Amino acid sequence: DAGVIQSPRHEVTEMGQEVTLRCKPISGHDYLFWYRQTMMRGLELLIYFNNNVPIDDSGMPEDRFSAKMPNASFSTLKIQPSEPRDSAVYFCASSIQGAETQYFGPGTRLLVL
């Protein structure tokens, strides 16, 4: 299996622009997680899905952030409009029901100028 796939790996954009991050979880995994990592705040859970349904979005910082999972093999995290403080590495992870581990993707490094 190719593991969790994220795209793009790097994104540079200007303040006010819309940013869309993409994730393909490992086939067969029924949980999908979006995390954000910064030097100041460490690694934070933003939202997670179970069987394509958002379960807990309490970690989403603002209404500017939204996430969707239209099917079992694809999810997006959108920021609109983006701000410089959104600059971070965004990770997607997936896991199987009852599993002891989450598998993380390589991350998307976002820089908002």
Nearest to 95 by CA among 62, 47, 42, 48: 48
Which stretches of the chain bind another protein, using CB under 8 A? 4, 31, 33, 42-45, 50, 91, 93, 95, 97-107
User: In the Cβ-directed half-sphere of 107, how many Cα atoms lie within 13 Å?
Assistant: 12
Residue with smaller CB distance to another protein, 15 or 99: 99
Q: How far is the CB of 77 from another protein (least distance, A)?
A: 15
| Residue closer to another protein (CB basis): 88 or 105 | 105
**What whole-number distance in Å separates Cα of residue 15 and Cα of residue 62?**
16
